[in-house]
Chains A and B, each alone.
Chain A
Amino acid sequence: MSDQLIIAGRSFNSRLLVGTGKFSSNAAMVDAMERSGSDIVTVALRRVDVDNPADDMLSHIDRNRYLLLPNTSGARNAEEAVRLARLARAAGCEPWIKLEVTPDPYYLLPDPIETLKAAEILVKEGFYVLPYINADPVLAKHLQEAGTVTVMPLGAPIGSNKGVRTREQIAIIIQQAIVPVVVDAGLGAPSHAAEAMEMGADAVLVNTALAVARDPGAMAEAFKKGVEAGREAYLAGLGEQRDTAEASSPLTGFLRN
């Protein structure tokens, strides 16, 4: 029986979503994407530098292989996020949008109120909305009621590489979710990704950890294995944690004098 990731009725083989930011080159980015085994890659939208238009990075991404998931990074409020989503769709993307509203540049924490506002508008306009949020179970419920196709709680601030620092809250979100939960942001190591998957997350999204690695392609492979290991462990049924010891061999029949 296949264990595919299903978002908005669409199936994906990989539970590792990857971002395309911060790579030292397009070649490094493509290498990481390919070796991650990912099916979904995120991109951002920025003003063209009219004096110095850059190379079209999309030309390096095989649209038949990957679902392009544009994000609304840079948006400081709902209005800017909605404008970015509409621009992404006009640029030829399928109407999938990673909703990201981060007014504070130091911690890049998502604004819950503006995110919910934007989500409601975008869902009504026919977008498949994947909202990036702090690990707030109440907010997650509101967004699901508004019709988002996932919730994407952060493990730690974007690019911090700190791992799953919001564990208890994410556990609640996973328990209560009626859509896939994608742990997104702050994952710095494959063990972090495995931890999220062991908790029952449906997928994870990783960007910085790959881009800043000494060998992004190798790191992408390591993350692929981490996600698979975590998922398999979750499905295999992890043992409970306990405070006292429980022997692995019988407590009778010991060799004695």
Chain B
Amino acid sequence: MNVTVNGEMHKIEDGTDLAQLLKQMELNADCVAVECNLDVVEREAFSSTPLSEGDTLEIVSFVGGG
């Protein structure tokens, strides 16, 4: 199925949950925050959040700023 991550389309297997997606992308779940379809997903819920066709994800992390 197709999901959008940070504005780009990605093809992933059906049944992938958010924790698995982060692992596949080699992203450390402890270092990112995730929004799915404009709703923030709490870190504890990553592995219990299944992804669906057309989901739009924003994955952000901290950078320097004033």
Contacts and interface: CB of A to CB of B under 8 A. Distances in A.
B31 A58 contact: yes
Contacts of A45: 33, 60-63
> Which of B30, B35, B61, B65 gathers most chain A CB within 10 Å?
B65
A167 interface: no
Nearest to A29: B64
Interface string B26-49: 111011111100101111000000
Interface string B1-14: 00001111000000
A245 interface: no
A21 interface: yes
Interface string A144-187: 00000000000000110000000000000000000000000100
Contacts of A44: 62-66
Contacts of B65: 19-21, 42-44, 71, 73, 207
A1 interface: no
Contacts of A126: none
Given A48-B27, A50-B5, A53-B27, A70 B62 contact: yes
A57 interface: yes
B58 A47 contact: yes
A57 B32 CA distance: 12
A86 B63 contact: no
B36 to A, nearest CB: 11
Contacts of A58: 31, 62
Contacts of A251: none
Contact of B6 (A21, A50, A89): A50
A185 B27 CA distance: 33
Contacts of B30: 92
Nearest to B43: A90
A18 B14 CA distance: 45
A22 B64 contact: yes
Interface string A82-109: 0110111111100000000000000000
Given A83-B38, A90-B40, A92-B43, A48 B32 contact: yes
Nearest to A46: B63
Nearest to B7: A47
A50 B25 contact: yes
Contacts of A23: 64
B43 to A, nearest CB: 7
A48 B66 contact: no
